[in-house]
Copies of this chain bind each other. A is one copy, B any other.
C-alpha cells in the first residue's frame, strides 16, 4: 500500500543569509515524497525535462520512491529562484520558468490507481481534481494550495476542496481563503468547505490543527541554525500524511482518530525542522528514522507540562 504524491519536481536557486545555491533539486512533490518516504511507500507523479539529473533520480529511487509516474518530456525542468529575508520569514521570487511543467497533465500509471492515500502538492486545482478522479477507492486525500489559486481560481479550488479530507496551508492562505483574520474563525469557515481536518502551518511558530470538535497547537522546533527554509512546508506535509498513510490510518465515519492526527502534526513538524538544517533536500541524504524518532521525543520533552 502506497501514498501517491502529485506535484512539481523542479530545480531551485536560493539565496539565504547563510549563502546561496545556483541549482538544486526542489519542487513540492520532491520534498513531500522524500519526507513521506520515512513513513510509507511512496509513488510520485510529476514531469521533468531532459535536463533532469540521473543523480537526482537515484536520490529519489534510493529512498524507495516509485518513479513510474515521473514523466520525462522534451524541454527543461521547472525552475524557480528566490531570495530570503534576513529573518527568513519572508521570501521573494526572482524567477519562475514553468518549462515542461506548463503543460503538466498528471496521468496515473495503472499501478497507482488503487492506492489508499493521495497527497496533492500545490498545482492547478482542476489538475488536482483530475488526479483524484483517476484513483479507485482512495481513502485519504488532501493537499496544499496557494494564494494564486485562492484569488484567481476560487470556484475551481472550492470544487476541488469538497473532495478532500484535509487541507494544509499557511496562515496567510487560511486568512485569504476564509476572509477571516482570526485563525479560529478562519478555520471554522474553511471546515465548511469540505475538509474535515485543517492544518495551518506557521513556519518557525509551529502549526495548528483544526477540526469541528477541537484543535491542537504545536510550537515550532527551535533550531540552532536555519540554513534554508525551502521545502519545509512540503516536508511537513510529507511527514503528516506519510505518517497516517504508513500506519494505515484512514477516516472512519468521516473522522480520523484525534490522537493520530496529533502525532501526524508532530511528525510533520519534525520533518519540516530537519529540512531547514541544510540547503534544499540536503538533509534527506543522510537523515535516518532513529533521528526522526529522537526529535519526536525531544518535541514531547520540550512541550509537556
Contacts and interface: CB of A to CB of B under 8 A. Distances in A.
A259 interface: yes
A264 B99 CA distance: 55
A129 interface: no
Interface in A251-305: 259, 262-263, 265-266, 300-305
A263 to B, nearest CB: 6
Copies in the complex: 2
A222 interface: yes
A224 B305 contact: no
A202 interface: yes
Contact of A217 (B87, B224, B262, B302): B302
Contacts of A304: 262, 304
A182 B227 CA distance: 12
Interface residues of A, number: 34
Given A215-B222, A219-B219, A266 B184 contact: no
Interface string A63-87: 0000000000000000000000011
A223 B181 CA distance: 12
A123 interface: no
Nearest to A210: B222
Nearest to A17: B181
Contacts of A222: 183-184, 208, 215, 217
Contact of A219 (B217, B224, B305): B217
Nearest to A298: B214
A302 B216 contact: yes
Contacts of A217: 219-220, 222, 302-303
B182 A216 contact: no
A303 B105 CA distance: 41
A303 to B, nearest CB: 6
Interface of A: 86-87, 181-185, 202, 205-206, 208, 214-220, 222-226, 259, 262-263, 265-266, 300-305
Given A87-B181, A205-B219, A218-B303, 18 more contacts: A182-B225, A183-B222, A184-B222, A206-B219, A208-B222, A214-B301, A215-B222, A215-B302, A216-B302, A216-B305, A217-B220, A217-B222, A217-B302, A219-B219, A262-B304, A262-B305, A266-B305, A303-B303
